[in-house]
Amino acid sequence: MGQTIIEKIIARNIGAESVKPGDIVTTSVDRVMLDDIMIPFIADKFHEMGFSKIWAPHKAVLIYDHLVPSSQIDDIRHYKAGEAFALKYGIEHVHRSDGICHQLMTEAGYVKPGDVVFGTDSHTTTYGCVGAFSTGIGYTEMAAILGTGNLWVKVPETIKIVIDGTLPDNVMSKDVILRIIGDLGADGATYRALEFAGAAVERMSVSSRMTMANMAIEAGAKCAVFTPDEKTAEYCGITLNDFQRNLIGDRDAAYCRVLTYHGEDFVPVMACPSQVDKIRSVSQLEGLPIDQVFIGSCTNGRLEDLKMAAKVLDGKSVAPFVKLIVTPASRKVYQEAAACGAIKTLVEAGAMVTHPGCGLCCGRAGGILCDGERVVATNNRNFLGRMGTSKVEIYLASPAVAAACAAAGKIVSPTI
């Protein structure tokens, strides 16, 4: 009996020949990510549990991103709690203003193919882009991992998603994952793993795969995973070992569901207010006036996203009544986008470029909106009140769509 990618990762982690869906197993954790919102709570729980040391301080990464730069006075308390905890227990991997946690975990080399990783943020599913098993947990479980190095998991069933062929030029991986979430529904993959394969997926950059793994949680998935390849190896700065090279879903593996798509069938889409699975093609929505555009987040704030936005906006101007906010996902992305001229193009078009961080995605930074306003945004959630008041209409889209909308002042399809 063959195995799915997630089954292979978990089996190796626990030292078993194989595992099957439904097995409850105790994993040895390879890496943990602690974010700034949760760190005071993690520290409290860790102390309440009676631990006096972290099982492996070098495996912990503390990242300030949701609250950077501070927008409320109470935010400072979170930095102080983080500093005190890191100092006391010897956490050396601390990022104070380098960018969004999920971008940094792979970009800075903390996660490798085949690793088992947990983080205190739901979008921890992102690291499946390099073939890791990663998922979000709460602060109590994080405190328990920091003390013990272990966490129990139930081996998930796997949904296989095959995308053959080639994507059209104006379609980005964001359009692909939005369509898949629409097909699965917001709870269609709850407790399950998503495994992506097919020619269109093999052609994608690691950044594009990151967008898809990031949003797997929006269909309820426990995790999402891509087979590591030469692009993954280059991105991670490693040579793949035999185990990593073999992280392929076996032909005779048991999948609870298989979805097959043809790349050519995809079109630019949007998730409409206020459900991530309410997907419409952009052509159906054309003409709706907009107030603001946000390009950024752990979903779509990478170099290829900013380059695409710059390409669409090159020589154009943001509509006079529209505010365009661009937030690079990390300092490195910011530097690279500056070096290649993308930032210059965006600024000349009228964009406001802000410091790397979660920014407007979680409604905590400059740019929050009020009742009756409409925003086109490249992040991952359009929930009520996510980016301001509860009557803001949030339309989720790719950077190409978002940039085209910013220039038009209304919803339009991008021409690439």
Q: Does 48 bind other proteins (CB under 8 A)?
A: yes
Pairing assessment for the beta strands 158-164 and 257-262 based on DSSP bridges: parallel
Q: Does 72 bind other proteins (CB under 8 A)?
A: yes
* Residue in the structure block whose two tokens are 């992506």: 196
For residues 129 and 406, give the distance between their C-alpha atoms in angstroms, rounded to a whole number.
Answer: 29
Q: Does 366 bind other proteins (CB under 8 A)?
A: no
Q: Does 152 bind other proteins (CB under 8 A)?
A: yes
- Beta-bridged to residue 119, according to DSSP, are 33, 136
For other proteins, the closer CB: 85 or 334: 85
**Which of positions 102-141 make contact with other proteins (CB under 8 A)?**
119-122, 124, 135-141
Q: Does 49 bind other proteins (CB under 8 A)?
A: yes
CB 379 within 8 A of CB 294: yes
Q: Is residue 79 exposed (0-12), middle (13-18) or buried (19+ Cβ within 10 Å)?
A: middle
CB of 366 to other proteins, least distance (A): 14
- Closest of 301, 295, 342, 361 to residue 322, by C-alpha: 295
CB of 274 to other proteins, least distance (A): 9
Q: How many CB atoms lie within 10 A of CB 389?
A: 14
Out of 198, 363, 367, 414, the residue judged to bind other proteins by CB under 8 A: 363
For other proteins, the closer CB: 144 or 253: 144
Its sign, for the CA torsion 189, 110, 399, 388, is positive
- Closest of 114, 105, 96 to residue 357, by C-alpha: 96
Backbone angles phi, psi at 246, to 5 degrees: -90, 10
Q: Does 239 bind other proteins (CB under 8 A)?
A: no
Out of 92, 169, 187, 234, the residue judged to bind other proteins by CB under 8 A: 187
CB of 293 to other proteins, least distance (A): 20
**Which of positions 157-186 make contact with other proteins (CB under 8 A)?**
186
For other proteins, the closer CB: 161 or 362: 362
Q: Which stretch binds other proteins (CB under 8 A): 35-43, 93-101, 258-266, 312-320?
A: 35-43
Q: Which stretch binds other proteins (CB under 8 A): 4-12, 75-83, 167-175, 281-289?
A: 75-83
* 28 Cβ contact list (under 8 Å, min separation 6): 13, 14, 116, 149, 150
Q: How many CB atoms lie within 10 A of CB 87?
A: 10
CB of 5 to other proteins, least distance (A): 19
Number of residues that bind other proteins (CB under 8 A): 50
For residues 340 and 307, give the distance between their C-alpha atoms in angstroms, rounded to a whole number.
Answer: 8
Q: Does 150 bind other proteins (CB under 8 A)?
A: no
Q: Does 220 bind other proteins (CB under 8 A)?
A: yes
For residues 362 and 366, give the distance between their C-alpha atoms in angstroms, rounded to a whole number.
Answer: 11
Q: Does 258 bind other proteins (CB under 8 A)?
A: no
CB 172 within 8 A of CB 396: no
* 242 Cβ contact list (under 8 Å, min separation 6): none
Q: Does 78 bind other proteins (CB under 8 A)?
A: yes
Q: Does 265 bind other proteins (CB under 8 A)?
A: no
For other proteins, the closer CB: 154 or 344: 154
CB 5 within 8 A of CB 227: yes
For residues 331 and 282, give the distance between their C-alpha atoms in angstroms, rounded to a whole number.
Answer: 31
For other proteins, the closer CB: 322 or 362: 362
Q: Which residues bind other proteins (CB under 8 A)?
A: 24, 37-38, 41, 45, 48-51, 66-67, 72, 74-75, 77-78, 119-122, 124, 135-141, 143-144, 147-148, 152, 154, 186-187, 190-191, 220, 222, 275, 362-364, 381, 383-386, 390
